[in-house]
Structure 1
Amino acid sequence: MSQLEVVAQRVLTPLILGKSGTIAPEDQSVIVMWAQKTALTAMLISSEEQRSAGYGLPPTVYKAFHQRRDRMRPLDASRFWVGRYEGMARRSAVHVTPLAVRIPGIPEPNTPQGYAITLLLGALVLHGLFFTTSALEVGVTMDLGMPQLWPADAPVQWPEGRPCTEASFLRLAAGKMLQSTVAPVEIRAWTPATSLPQSAFMDGKVRVPALCGEHSFFYPIALFEEVRRGKFYAFVTGCECPRSYLIHTESDGVHYKAVGAADGISQMYEDLDGEEICIRDGTGVFSCKRLPAEP
């Protein structure tokens, strides 16, 4: 695996610093492998319980990746693109979002059928996906028009396509810019890993059932009202299990971004770029961070 780091450093360092460059076809598979290795390593923080519930990445993915180390080829049924980031904040990040291949009239699967991977390093964005089995693979395009890095067929000039902004990065990382080329098939985020159960208003707050199915957490109704103004926030909460959650408000509701031990979730929150604000109401003080607006 050290070969991946050597090639990635040689090829990607100028791009990370914002200098124009070319990624040769012979380097493209190695760069995609490096991106997948980086994402797989980051997701090792998921617990065994979380992976069994569909969060994190299953052991079969790690085994499949390890089996390709000598051939230097990415995971089967992979697609990857490369683009430029022009936001002021969020200079590094790794996101993995479970995906489902949706067909009208067919229920959503019980487990993810693919994963979107997004890496941000300075001015460089690497974005792609892989399907859990080749039988599910469909043609996919990417809304920002980033040049395709994998499968490789020609040198890739960087930068090309529309740049990724602070706002569009959130949609990109959530898999919302991936479009199936096969009608009526759609590629969507896997609902159990991205959406919280139905919430309700109670005593001036929004009550949300926690993932454990036994408890609930609350957030100020002021955040719900802010969504209608196009303003979004991140906050940390928890339940009696005990579990901690990193929550984002988005235009279609609240979504959890991570679940785990309090220390780890608190660190993820601290690492988020954004202005922290405090909302005071009759029950106390609620802290949250302002996120970039959606496009």
Structure 2
Amino acid sequence: MAATCVFCGSADTLTGKHVLGDWLSKIGLDLDPVPHGAGWLNRIGRELGVRPPFRQKVRDVCGDCNHGWMSRLEVAAQRVLTPLILGHPGRIEAADQGAIAAWVQKTALTAMLVSSEADRDRGYGLPVSEYRELYALRDELRPLPASQFWAGQYEGVRGWSIRVTPLAVRVDGLPELDRPQAYAMTIVLGQLVLQGVRFTTASLQVELSTRLELPEFWPPAGPVTWPSGTPLHDGRFLDFAGGKNFRSTEQHIQVQPWQRATELEPSRAVGGMIELPTICGKHVVYYPAALVGEAMRGRFYAFGTTCECPMAYLIHTEPDGAHCKAADTAEGISELYEALPGEEYEIEDDDGSFWCKRLPSPFQQKMEP
């Protein structure tokens, strides 16, 4: 069976489509080679090698889409976003907001195509209908309906990042549904962060705002000045991209990460340590039970650890337990750990020394309603 374009369904020749437009390699961003990877949330991803950024391509898009409506979105994004990416104050004018929101959505959808065929066969990715519906709107320069988008300032060490997180609409007193009803799209480029939410179940759409009070540029309500709102730092990035930043305007309805995609199996006590299953599904790691007592007192910590794969993990303790925030090489996790704010502590017991960082108040505040 001949391959077809994931957006329009055409069986014409498929081309190599950049996940992030090639123009980003020409505006002055750092182009040093970095590790690339893709994969499921909270599981070990697929390594894609070390190379300069903005080179990743997918081959699921036809030439007409690539060089037609997608190219028009890239032109708009380059014109509007370049100053913001480089940290220069600016605005997203009302006339450009639909195109920028559509560009974020198109980029997120394209990034999901980096996944392997095996991952897609097991359910990884977004519904094909998302691609086809965005194609149907190609001449209208706007995103899919039931969507919201925000723009903010990023102050951290990541030069770029694309993350898509499935979300659940939760009604007080009712269990989480067996399928997500929305997804969050987060793109970091230089000093700019763009985030959007698309409700795939339109009847469950609720109005959202962000905990960082980022300005909303879609649906449009006039020009948006950048930067405004609270800057996003690396210490909050993983929760932000993981869909924990949203506030619902409905008192008894919340939009949160879909637990089946974002949570690990529960940990258990083993002597004076807590055993935590790792993302690989084959091993466990341990941390002192003293951190559980600290969490019960409202004091939360971060630490790095490794399993036998070997793979390294960044773990945060939170009111409902310990959560894996990232899986990477030991060097990569060490960099994320060092970038976290907070004072470092050593815990000594019969099992030896254990180093961790006390997370400052913003990590506690993020859990408040």
Higher CA-based Rg:
2
Return closer, same or farther for 1:257/1:144 CA change in 2, 3 Å cut-off: closer
1:60 is aligned to: 129
**Conserved? CA contact 1:81–1:150, under 8 Å:** yes
2:316 corresponds to 1:249: yes
**Conserved? CA contact 1:235–1:269, under 8 Å:** no
The within-5 A match list for 1:216-235 is 216-222=282-288, 225=291, 228=295, 230-233=300-303
AA paired with 1:91? Answer: G
AA paired with 1:34? Answer: W
Distance in 1 (alpha carbons) for counterparts of 2:357 and 2:333:
12
**Conserved? CA contact 1:114–1:130, under 8 Å:** yes
SS of 1:41's equivalent in the other structure is helix
Distance in 2 (alpha carbons) for counterparts of 1:236 and 1:131:
36
**Conserved? CA contact 2:312–2:333, under 8 Å:** no
**Per-residue Cα deviation, 1:266-286 (whole angstroms, up to 9, x for no partner):** 59957974449xxxx999xx9
Return closer, same or farther for 1:18/1:209 CA change in 2, 3 Å cut-off: closer
**Post-superposition shift, 1:166?**
2.1
Residue 224 of structure 2, aligned match among 156, 164, 171: 156
Normalised to the residue count of structure 1, the TM-score between the two structures is: 0.78
- Over the matched positions of the two proteins, sequence identity in percent amounts to 41
**Conserved? CA contact 2:169–2:181, under 8 Å:** yes
Distance in 2 (alpha carbons) for counterparts of 1:121 and 1:132:
26
2:161 is aligned to: 93
2:270 is aligned to: 202
2:193 corresponds to 1:133: no
1:189 is aligned to: 257
Distance in 2 (alpha carbons) for counterparts of 1:14 and 1:194:
34
Distance in 2 (alpha carbons) for counterparts of 1:271 and 1:122:
21
AA paired with 1:41? Answer: T
Distance in 1 (alpha carbons) for counterparts of 2:238 and 2:266:
22
2:213 is aligned to: 145
Distance in 2 (alpha carbons) for counterparts of 1:76 and 1:12:
23
**Post-superposition shift, 1:123?**
1.2
Unaligned runs of 5+ in 1: 260-264
The within-5 A match list for 1:1-295 is 1-47=70-116, 50=119, 55-85=124-154, 87-202=155-270, 206-209=274-277, 216-222=282-288, 225=291, 228=295, 230-233=300-303, 237=307, 248-252=315-319, 253-256=321-324, 273-275=336-338, 295=362
Return closer, same or farther for 1:65/1:138 CA change in 2, 3 Å cut-off: same
Return closer, same or farther for 1:184/1:245 CA change in 2, 3 Å cut-off: farther
**Post-superposition shift, 1:53?**
6.2
Return closer, same or farther for 1:163/1:23 CA change in 2, 3 Å cut-off: same
AA paired with 2:100? Answer: I
**Post-superposition shift, 1:62?**
2.3
Distance in 1 (alpha carbons) for counterparts of 2:350 and 2:166:
38
Distance in 1 (alpha carbons) for counterparts of 2:73 and 2:201:
24
Distance in 2 (alpha carbons) for counterparts of 1:119 and 1:17:
15
**Per-residue Cα deviation, 1:50-100 (whole angstroms, up to 9, x for no partner):** 557664323232222232223222011000111112x34223222211111
CA RMSD, 1 decimal: 3.8
**Per-residue Cα deviation, 1:155-198 (whole angstroms, up to 9, x for no partner):** 11111222222223233212222111112111111111111121
1:262 is aligned to: none
**Post-superposition shift, 1:137?**
0.8
**Post-superposition shift, 1:116?**
1.2
- Larger RCO (CA within 8 A; separation ≥ 6): 1
